[in-house]
Each structure stands twice: as C-alpha cells, then as structure tokens.
Amino acid sequence: MKQISWLLAAVLASAMLTLSGCGSSDTVAIEPLKILLITAHPDDETMFNLGRFRERGWQVSIALVTNGENGSVVQGIKQDYDPKKDNDILNELDAGPGAWLTVPPDGPRLKEITTHPDLARQRRQEFLASCGLHGVVTVYFLSDPDRADFEDSWDNGVSGWNQEVLSRRLIYAVNRSRPDIIITLNPDETWAHRQHFGLARIVKNLWQAGSLDLPGAVRSTLYGIREHGWYEASWTPQSGDLQFERASFSTVLGMTYEAYWLETTSFYLSQSSHPVWFDARVRVNILPGYHGTDMIRRLDAMEDHEGLDQLFRRFPPDLLLAARLPIIPIVVDFLGK
C-alpha cells in the first residue's frame, strides 16, 4: 500500500507541476543534481539508501559492471541452524539444476535457475525493478549476460577484467550522464568483496587522472559507499565519513528511510541482500546490520566543493521534482560492443 500511495502522490504532484507552469512568467526552474553510481554487482546500490536522492528529484544513473552471474541462489533459511557446525544460516546453491528462485522465507518456488546466464538475466530483472522504485534515469549494463565481458568472481577480483574496455565504457557513461557527483564503492575496505574495492580503485584512479572530467564543466565530487551493514571492520571510522539516520521520516517518500530500503531490497529474491535473508544473518550475528545509519565516504578531499551533507541541506526534499523522475529507466546495453 505504501508503494501505491507513493505512486499516487507522484502522479498528483506531477499534475500540479504542469499546472503551476502554465501562464506563469516568474516560475523558477530548479535544476536537480545528477548522480552517477558505479557498482560491481546488482544489489550493490542497496548499501546506501538512494531514497535520499529520490526524494530530492536528483537524477541518478547507474553503471553496472557485472551481472552477478556467478553468485549463489538463496533457497531458504536453515531451521536447524547450529552456529557451532554451520557457516551460514542460509541455504544457497550455485546456478544449475535444483537451484530455485524462492519467495522468502518459505516459498513458493518460482523458477529454476539452471545456468549462469539465467542467473544474470534474473538479477538484471531484480536490479531494474529496484531502479524503477528509485526513479533511476539511466542504467548502463557494461557486461553481456551471455558473454560476461567482466567476470563476476570473488576469488579473482578484477584481475580478469579488461580495464581498457571498462575504462572506455565508464567514460562513455560519464560523458552521457554528466554527473555532479560520482559514487562507487570503498577502495580501502580490503576485507570486503574483492571486486568492490577493486572497482573502487579503478574509478578513483580514473578520477584522479582526470579521465572522468568533462570539458567546460565543474569536476565531479567522488564518494565511496561504506559497507558497514556487511562487515564489522567497516565500522572503523575513516576520513571523510558521513552518517545519516535511517529512522528519520521522509515526507516525500511517505515513510522512513529504513522502510524505503526494505521496499527496494525486496526485489532481490535471488540474493542475500533481500531483507528477509539479510535479517536472518543479522539475527545470528553473521552480519552486523546497519545499526540505524547509512554511511558514505568522501574520496576526493576537494575543499572547494560542497559535501553531500551540505547539499542535502541546500536541496531539501521536493515532491514536485521527485514526481518527475521516471518509473522505467532508459537502458544502455553494450551487447556485442
């Protein structure tokens, strides 16, 4: 019901915006900020609450490097979990016969994920559904689901990636989206997924080299998402950290940021980021959980640019701008390129 109420409010606000612009000569146009989020896997964007961008009508684009095709498919929660004997409370299977997409926590089973390309396409669908709720403007799929241009691998990290091709595609996404802010993952969280900090280092190096600069434009500020919900070590403070309360209520979203996060992560049926699967791990202390805060880290140390906290104060939530965001993102796919 909350989602329906939000959509209804958005439609009404959009109509109000159209009417308010008719015959008015003193209407001031507000230009929303543009964000480019660069992530390694479908669901990485859930580690920071994008509702804070949605409520301001900021135009978010996401460049997704892999399709998450080598991840495991969550089958359910172990009812006889024993922390002394079991490494995990979740039952997971690699893509193949018997790996079922299952509605948390107990079913029903929806479909069998028999191949890695099947899983890639499933995770694309989950990702796009979440992006629709966020009002994401454009999605850049950088990897072919059948060819896996950039390998999805914990063990190999980014060592198998063609960084020349990746850099070219990222630069294309930057040139097209023209972001005021670039967000990736945290380059210094070496206990995390190797592709997370590996990609963050690639992005940071490109930014430092000026490869992501746009001619005639102010340089984008750079942020990295802190993975504090997944790793205890991520709670160690780092220079440039910002924290935002998840229990705060958003009048534009019509719910708390925590409730909004629950809605957006609920699309990820196949992954442990789904709130039911995630909560199961938090309850038995496999994951620390978010402890009521969202965390993000400033990576560029540009003193002449406003920080995200300052921008949030200068650009308050705006129902009219939020209503103008799309419900289906434009998809730019690099199939065969």
Q: Which residues pair with 45 in a beta bridge?
A: none
Residue 113: the pLDDT is 97
Q: Residue 105 pLDDT more than 60?
A: yes
In this structure, are residues 194 and 187 in contact, taking their beta carbons and an 8 Å threshold? no
3-state secondary structure of 164: helix
Of 38-42, 66-70, 293-297, 300-304, the range with the lowest mean pLDDT is: 300-304
Q: Residue 21 pLDDT more than 50?
A: no
Q: Say whether the peptide bond before residue 108 is cis (omega within 30 degrees of 0).
A: yes
Q: Which long-range contacts (CB under 8 A, 24 or more apart) does 307-314 make?
A: 307/221, 307/242, 308/181, 308/221, 308/223, 308/242, 309/242, 309/244, 311/33, 311/181, 312/52, 312/56, 312/244
Q: What is the pLDDT of residues 173-210, one digit of tens each?
A: 999 999 999 999 999 999 999 999 999 999 999 999 99
Residue 185 φ/ψ, nearest 5 degrees: -100, -175
In this structure, are residues 72 and 273 in contact, taking their beta carbons and an 8 Å threshold? no
* Mean of pLDDT values over 143-147: 94
Going by pLDDT thresholds of 50, 70 and 90, the confidence category of residue 220 is very high
Residue 18: the pLDDT is 39
Going by pLDDT thresholds of 50, 70 and 90, the confidence category of residue 335 is confident
Residue 37 φ/ψ, nearest 5 degrees: -100, 125
> Which runs of consecutive H residues, i.e. helices, occur in 25-75?
51-54
CA 48 from centre of chain? 7
Of 13-17, 44-48, 131-135, 304-308, the range with the lowest mean pLDDT is: 13-17
Residue 1: the pLDDT is 47
* Mean of pLDDT values over 234-257: 97
**Which top CATH class is 2-11+33-71+116-333?**
alpha beta
In this structure, are residues 268 and 104 in contact, taking their beta carbons and an 8 Å threshold? no
Domain locations along the chain? 2-11+33-71+116-333
CA dist., res. 124 & res. 127, Å (int): 5
* Mean of pLDDT values over 91-109: 95
Residue 337: the pLDDT is 66
